[in-house]
Structure 1
Amino acid sequence: MTTDNHTAPREFTDVFVRGFKNGAGKRLEIRDTKVTGLVLRITPKNKKTFTLQTRTVDQEKVQITIGSYPAVALKDARAIALKHLAEIARGHDPREQVRQIKAHAEAHNLTLTALLDEVEPIFGLTKSMWRKSNRFGRTKPEARAAIENVFSELLQRPLGKLRQSDVSKMVKGYTPKRPKKGKTSANGAVARALAYLRTVFDWAAHRGRFTKENAGRASKLDLPDLGNIVDPSIDDPTLEGKRERVLSQDELVSVLPLLVYPAPPGLRSGLDPREDYGPVAFRFLFLTLSRREEVVEARRKDFDLQSGTWTKKVKTRRKPGSHGPAERRIVAIPLSDTAIELLLSLPSFVEGQPEDLVFPSSGGGPLCNWDRTQDAINRDSGTSGWHRHDLRRTAATILRQLGVKPAVTDTLLCHRNPYNREQVSSAAASYMIDTKILRDAVDFEREAVNMLADALASICKPCSGSELARMGEAASSPRVERHPSPWATFA
Structure 2
Amino acid sequence: MQRERLTPERIRRFTCPEGTKQAFLWDETAPRLAVRATAGAKSFVFEAKLDRRTIRVTIGDVRAWNLDDARTEARRLQTEIDQGNDPREQKRERIAAAEAKRAAAEAAKAEADRQARYTLRALCDAYLSALERAGKGKSAAGARSLFKCHIDQDTANKPARTVTAHEVAALVRKVREAGKERAAGVLRSYLSAAFNAAKRAPFDSALPADLIAFGIEHNPVDAIPAIAVQRGDRTLSAGELRAYIGHLLRIGHETGPELVDVALLLALYAGGQRMAQLLRAKVGDFDQDTATLRLWDGKGKRTQPREHLLPLAPHAAGMVAALVERAKARETDRAKQEGRAPDMAGLWLFSTHGRVAMNPETVSNRAAEVCAGIGGEPFNVRDIRRTVETMLAGLGISKDTRAQLLSHGISGVQAAHYDRHAYTDEKRAALVAWEARLAAIRQAEKQPANVRHLRAA
Are positions 1:386 and 2:379 aligned together? Answer: yes
Report the equivalent of 1:15: 59
Report the equivalent of 2:358: 367
Report the equivalent of 1:3: none
Q: Shift of residue 79 of structure 1?
A: 8.4
- The 1:344–1:210 alpha-carbon spacing in structure 2 relative to 1, beyond 3 Å, is closer
Alpha-carbon distance in 2 for matches of 1:399, 1:384:
22
Counterpart secondary structure, 2:442: coil
Q: Shift of residue 217 of structure 1?
A: 2.9
Are positions 1:74 and 2:51 aligned together? Answer: no
Report the equivalent of 1:253: 242
Alpha-carbon distance in 1 for matches of 2:299, 2:193:
22
Which structure has the bigger radius of gyration?
2
Report the equivalent of 1:193: 187
Provide the TM-score with structure 2 as the length reference: 0.60
Counterpart secondary structure, 1:361: coil
- The 1:141–1:100 alpha-carbon spacing in structure 2 relative to 1, beyond 3 Å, is farther
Q: 355-364 or 305-314: which moved more?
A: 355-364
Counterpart secondary structure, 1:434: coil
- Count of aligned positions: 348
Report the AA paired with residue 180 of structure 2.
A
Cα deviation digits, residues 204-230 of structure 1 (max 9, x gap): 6x5xx6797999734536999344557
Say if 2:164 and 2:220, in contact at 8 Å, map to a contact too.
no
Structure 1: runs of 5+ lacking an equivalent: 1-9, 21-31, 40-72, 82-93, 177-183, 266-271, 320-325, 437-442, 464-491
Q: Which has the higher helix share?
A: 2
- The 1:374–1:35 alpha-carbon spacing in structure 2 relative to 1, beyond 3 Å, is farther
Q: What pairs up with 1:275-286 in 2 under 5 angstroms? A: 276-286=258-268
- The 1:352–1:448 alpha-carbon spacing in structure 2 relative to 1, beyond 3 Å, is farther
Alpha-carbon distance in 1 for matches of 2:156, 2:386:
42
Are positions 1:225 and 2:246 aligned together? Answer: no
Report the equivalent of 1:145: 145
Q: What pairs up with 1:161-200 in 2 under 5 angstroms? A: 167-174=168-175, 185-200=179-194
Alpha-carbon distance in 1 for matches of 2:56, 2:421:
78
- The 1:412–1:223 alpha-carbon spacing in structure 2 relative to 1, beyond 3 Å, is closer
Alpha-carbon distance in 2 for matches of 1:101, 1:202:
27
Counterpart secondary structure, 2:309: strand
Provide the TM-score with structure 1 as the length reference: 0.56
Report the AA paired with residue 421 of structure 2.
I
Counterpart secondary structure, 1:411: helix
Cα deviation digits, residues 436-484 of structure 1 (max 9, x gap): 7xxxxxx332121011000011113449xxxxxxxxxxxxxxxxxxxxx
Say if 1:104 and 1:222, in contact at 8 Å, map to a contact too.
no
- The 1:108–1:230 alpha-carbon spacing in structure 2 relative to 1, beyond 3 Å, is farther
Report the AA paired with residue 414 of structure 1.
S
Report the equivalent of 2:269: 287
Are positions 1:333 and 2:273 aligned together? Answer: no
Say if 2:120 and 2:158, in contact at 8 Å, map to a contact too.
yes
Counterpart secondary structure, 1:311: strand
Report the AA paired with residue 406 of structure 1.
K
Report the AA paired with residue 282 of structure 2.
R
Alpha-carbon distance in 2 for matches of 1:186, 1:328:
30
Q: Select the residue among 414, 425, 429 that pairs with 1:426.
A: 414
Q: What pairs up with 1:472-491 in 2 under 5 angstroms? A: none
Q: Shift of residue 417 of structure 1?
A: 3.7
Cα deviation digits, residues 142-179 of structure 1 (max 9, x gap): 33332122115347634399676655554444599xxx
Report the equivalent of 1:157: 157
Q: Select the residue among 105, 116, 120 that pairs with 1:112.
A: 120
Alpha-carbon distance in 2 for matches of 1:158, 1:247:
47
Alpha-carbon distance in 2 for matches of 1:172, 1:147:
14
Report the AA paired with residue 291 of structure 2.
G
Alpha-carbon distance in 1 for matches of 2:326, 2:438:
24
Q: Shift of residue 398 of structure 1?
A: 1.7
Say if 2:269 and 2:316, in contact at 8 Å, map to a contact too.
yes
Report the AA paired with residue 149 of structure 1.
C
Report the equivalent of 2:290: 307
- The 1:251–1:153 alpha-carbon spacing in structure 2 relative to 1, beyond 3 Å, is same
Q: Shift of residue 195 of structure 1?
A: 3.1
Counterpart secondary structure, 1:426: helix
Report the AA paired with residue 371 of structure 1.
S
Q: Shift of residue 339 of structure 1?
A: 0.8
Report the equivalent of 2:434: 452
Q: Shift of residue 337 of structure 1?
A: 0.9
Counterpart secondary structure, 1:460: helix
Report the AA paired with residue 348 of structure 1.
R
Report the equivalent of 2:326: 348
- The 1:198–1:303 alpha-carbon spacing in structure 2 relative to 1, beyond 3 Å, is closer
Report the AA paired with residue 292 of structure 2.
T
Cα deviation digits, residues 95-133 of structure 1 (max 9, x gap): 9xx9899646632564433333444445666xx6xx562
- The 1:427–1:19 alpha-carbon spacing in structure 2 relative to 1, beyond 3 Å, is farther
Q: 337-346 or 278-287: which moved more?
A: 337-346
Say if 1:201 and 1:224, in contact at 8 Å, map to a contact too.
yes
- The 1:14–1:113 alpha-carbon spacing in structure 2 relative to 1, beyond 3 Å, is farther
Report the AA paired with residue 59 of structure 2.
V
Alpha-carbon distance in 2 for matches of 1:263, 1:371:
21
- The 1:99–1:331 alpha-carbon spacing in structure 2 relative to 1, beyond 3 Å, is same
Cα deviation digits, residues 309-349 of structure 1 (max 9, x gap): 11222225547xxxxxx221223321111112333555625
Q: Select the residue among 112, 119, 137 that pairs with 1:133.
A: 137
Alpha-carbon distance in 1 for matches of 2:355, 2:225:
45
RMSD: 4.8
Q: Shift of residue 375 of structure 1?
A: 1.7
- The 1:152–1:435 alpha-carbon spacing in structure 2 relative to 1, beyond 3 Å, is same
- The 1:447–1:222 alpha-carbon spacing in structure 2 relative to 1, beyond 3 Å, is closer
Q: Shift of residue 378 of structure 1?
A: 0.6
Structure 2: runs of 5+ lacking an equivalent: 1-53, 65-86, 332-343, 446-457
- The 1:398–1:167 alpha-carbon spacing in structure 2 relative to 1, beyond 3 Å, is closer
Say if 1:285 and 1:391, in contact at 8 Å, map to a contact too.
no
